[in-house]
Structure 1
Amino acid sequence: MAHDDIVAALTERLEVLESEAAIRRLQARYMFLCDTPCPEFGVEDDADRIERVVDLYADDAVWEGVGEYYDGQFGRAVGKQAVREHFQRFWGEKRDPALVLNAHYLTSEQIHVDGDVASGQWIHMQPWLYSDGTALLRSSRLNNAFRRIDGVWRITRTRTENVFVADLPRHFAGAFPSTSVLMAPSASPHR
């Protein structure tokens, strides 16, 4: 193989690896922003959180729940404004009992990059804990799509399908934060 061919092949492989890493961070950031309490430092309120989530999406993005359980529960939102409205319904409505804990755990990752488009599949689990002590565990499959726009990867499709929902014992979590300080600036010299 000629030197120029080797450099071209290595450059292509490096671009795929960098794209996979960027998509992995993008998907993880989405999940991070969806956690309750929100661990992102400086998020002023749920409206600010929603805008940070929506900023991860392309203008023509689709967010959808699919399958017999999520189809009716989540439906389909097309375009950034519809995605924004989806999250406004979720975080904008006061619920009783209130959601006090929700954390997303991603696993079984597969990312497939083809130039400026990509897809990714994950399974995720998330415990939900409510203010009255009731709790459940959700698991979903994700089949998401991404596009590089002006050099930045954006989500073009979030598609989630229920795997299961299981009730957890009341008060299953004995200790959990009311707010997150994980990302707060620290006075410690060991930041």
Structure 2
Amino acid sequence: MSAADVRAIQRLKHEYCFTIDGGRYEEWASLFTEDGRFVRDNGDVYEGHDELYAFASEGFDEAFAQSAHVVTNPLIEVAGDEAVGEWYLVLFHETPDGESGWTQAKYEDEYRKVDGEWRVAESKVSYGVRG
């Protein structure tokens, strides 16, 4: 496990946050592998760039007028061209009707190196305070 790989994965997760918060949904989807998956704790699964883009551009805009994903406490383990990571998330948001709030969650991610670049293979999110 190299420090460079860990830093690259941390940067990837930060790009994940900034792109979805900035409404750059095509760019956000491109951070996943071609078969990448986003899995919500309610059972919803979005797989592949087209479904990921549709989830973000339709569902995310419907739920939030503004958002700020803040990820912390990364635990990253790298084994060759694959890695896993856990992160805490605090999501600050404003709804389309002007309500402000925040949500706490945990990400459990799988990463894969594709053509020398780290990509998200799967990101599972669980809402609420969990260890």
Give the TM-score, by structure 1 length: 0.62
Q: 1:130: how far off?
A: 3.2
**1:21 offset after TM fit, Å?**
0.5
The alignment of Structure 1 onto Structure 2 pairs a total of residues equal to: 129
How has the CA–CA distance of structure 1 residues 82 and 133 changed in structure 2, closer, same or farther, with 3 Å as cutoff? Answer: closer
Identical aligned residues as a percent? 24
Distance 2:90 2:61 in 1: 23
RMSD: 1.8
C-alpha distance in structure 1 between counterparts of 2:97 and 2:59, whole Å: 19
Offset from partner CA, 1:10-47 (integer Å, 9 cap, x none): xxx5xx11110000000000001122xx2xxxxxxx4x
Unaligned runs of at least 5 residues, structure 2: none
Residue equivalent to 1:58: 33
- In the alignment, the residues of structure 1 paired with residue 66 and residue 123 of structure 2 have an alpha-carbon distance, to the nearest angstrom, of 22
Q: Read off the aligned partner of 1:87 and give its amino acid letter.
A: A
For 1:127 and 1:156, the matched residues in 2 are separated by 25
Change (3 A) 1:109 1:92: closer
Aligned to 1:18: 4
Structure showing greater radius of gyration is 1
Structure showing the higher strand proportion among its residues: 2
Cα pair 2:20 2:56 within 8 Å, conserved: no
Structure 2 CA distance for partners of 1:130 and 1:80, relative to 1, 3 Å: closer
Q: Which amino acid aligns with 1:62?
A: R
AA matched with 2:5: S
Q: Which residue of structure 2 lines up, in the alignment, with residue 140 of structure 1?
A: 105
